[in-house]
A and B are shown apart, each in its own frame.
Chain A
């Protein structure tokens, strides 16, 4: 059978890749995608622990579903914001959107 640690390492890898993307990509949409990656890693983690921890208890899946919902709304709102920013300033580069400073 598949050891738990493999799953954990995989999710860790996914998460770190997503983190790298979030930190380094310039395009806001790309950042959003990376965030989705991280979220997926989290969900996968939840399910793994549910499966290996106590599959009789459904909580793990419920949590995963809630995270799905959050991810969906996050994507929708985030992209809406990106679009409106793009409309107003015609850029989606994260480090050009830096008006919020001294």
Chain B
């Protein structure tokens, strides 16, 4: 049990528990805040995985944009479904079973797959070099420029679509999120 493992377990626990809170908390706003915490935990895991860039991006996009957007939406629609109202539909039992089964299966697969079992080490990599490589590969013609451009188009479409769909109220709000 090295220190890294300790940190990992800590972060993982925070992430997982807050994720659970996201789906169980009756107060939507709380759910939103728990979501923020989850995202932050994931960001921490990214740092642990020596992907600081992604960690920061996670914070910027998810916490800085998506989460806040969601909280906004909650505030705007909060007249409905207060904590007194039913939070779950009548499928929740089925949902629980399905999720649990899926989790069990995945865990089983992971554990009985030797190559993934305990003891597999992360390889060493020079992250700062990687960051430059990441930047270049995004605009490299024979690497990822196509996905990159496609993503940009997607964002543009989402921007326009969101503005159009929600025009009368908060037209600009949805617009901002995809910067």
Contacts and interface: CB of A to CB of B under 8 A. Distances in A.
A76 B69 contact: yes
B165 A77 contact: yes
A84 B76 CA distance: 11
Contact of A84 (B65, B102, B166): B166
B99 A73 contact: no
Given A5-B117, A72-B177, A12 B155 contact: no
B16 A13 contact: yes
Contacts of A87: 168-169
Nearest to B35: A33
B contact patch SS: helix
A24 B20 CA distance: 13
A22 to B, nearest CB: 8
B165 A84 contact: yes
A75 B69 CA distance: 8
A43 to B, nearest CB: 8
Nearest to B73: A79
Contacts of B74: 29
B1 to A, nearest CB: 11
A102 B15 CA distance: 42
B151 A70 contact: yes
A92 B80 contact: yes
Interface of A is mostly: helix
Interface in B115-136: 116-125, 130, 133-134
Interface residues of A, number: 74
B123 A52 contact: yes
Interface in A44-79: 44, 47-48, 50-52, 54-56, 58-59, 61-62, 64-66, 68-77, 79
A30 to B, nearest CB: 6
A40 B39 CA distance: 8
Most buried by B among A1, A7, A16, A56: A16
Contact of B4 (A1, A13, A58, A83): A1
B157 A73 contact: yes
Interface in B122-179: 122-125, 130, 133-134, 137-138, 144, 147-148, 151-152, 154-155, 157-159, 161-163, 165-166, 168-170, 174, 177-178
Interface of B: 2, 4-5, 8, 12, 15-16, 19-20, 22-23, 28, 31-32, 35, 38-39, 42, 45-46, 48-51, 53-54, 57-58, 61-62, 65-66, 69-70, 72-74, 76-77, 80-81, 85-89, 91-92, 94-96, 98-100, 102-103, 106-107, 110-111, 116-125, 130, 133-134, 137-138, 144, 147-148, 151-152, 154-155, 157-159, 161-163, 165-166, 168-170, 174, 177-178
